[in-house]
Homo-oligomer: A and B are copies of this chain.
């Protein structure tokens, strides 16, 4: 299958529990890694409460501003699961029962299948239901919005489909240099690298009381040669005995 090329992405992480300190989000980290690996730039992530209008407004804003949007959470059978309704509202469409999805649920739950289970077959009218060879349980996509579940294990499973369907236009090349030098002392060196290699993104991350290193410097580019040249310049500027290591 030809993968769709997307350049920018946004994530919408939904759930009161994430903002009230009861649960910590676990889905952003695997999503960021997946997108980075594909060469897609995740530009923005927003965490909001389970409120229909708030979700609808945010979905519409992100849909318009980015090539692809991933929502996480609010897709179960209970009263606080309003993401499907919110996506429908965002696009001015209605919620319908997808017959094939409903059959799948009935088959999966058999005699135990209740109305609550069947609520999971509710989708915004006009959605695409994405499945793969390994995963028959569909993922709902409406326009460029992927509606992903909040349960971390299932969210991660569904990233397989993201990798099958999407790709970025570039490859990201990265190096991390770990030094025992304070960030402030590195600044003039970094400024030289930034000035000489404008296409390389230079990051500087101090570590507080770490036994191994004081500052991690990251170099990122979409051309391997550019990244390598910036790395060589930076290493040549470091004093003897540095860096601690490179990754």
Which residues of A are in contact with B by a Cβ distance under 8 Å? 16-25, 28-29, 32-33, 35-37, 41-49, 76-80, 109, 114, 116-117, 119, 151-154, 172, 174, 176, 183-188, 190-191, 194, 201-209, 218, 220
Q: Which residues of B have CB within 8 Å of A29?
A: 21, 24
The winner among A47, A119, A184, A191 for most chain B CB atoms within 10 A is A184
Q: Which residues of B have CB within 8 Å of A183?
A: 76-78, 116
B47 in contact with A19 (CB, 8 Å): no
CB distance from A182 to the nearest CB of B (A): 8
CB distance from A116 to the nearest CB of B (A): 4
Q: List 9 A-B contacts (CB under 8 A).
A: A16-B201, A20-B42, A22-B218, A44-B47, A77-B187, A79-B191, A80-B202, A116-B188, A117-B184
A17 in contact with B78 (CB, 8 Å): no
Q: Which residues of B have CB within 8 Å of A209?
A: 153
A19 in contact with B32 (CB, 8 Å): yes
A185 in contact with B116 (CB, 8 Å): yes
A20 in contact with B172 (CB, 8 Å): yes
The winner among A18, A194, A203, A204 for most chain B CB atoms within 10 A is A203
Out of B22, B25, B194, B218, name the residue touching A79 (CB < 8 Å): B194
Q: Please name the 4 residue pairs, one residue from A and one from B, whose CB atoms are nearest each other, closest first.
A: A21-B32, A116-B187, A21-B33, A116-B184
Out of B17, B43, B187, B205, name the residue touching A49 (CB < 8 Å): B43
A20 and chain B: residue at smallest CB distance: B36
CB distance from A135 to the nearest CB of B (A): 14
B32 in contact with A20 (CB, 8 Å): yes
A19 to B28 CA separation, bound complex (whole angstroms): 8
Besides A78-B190, A114-B187, 4 other A-B contacts (C-beta < 8 A): A20-B32, A46-B46, A78-B187, A80-B204
B35 in contact with A184 (CB, 8 Å): no
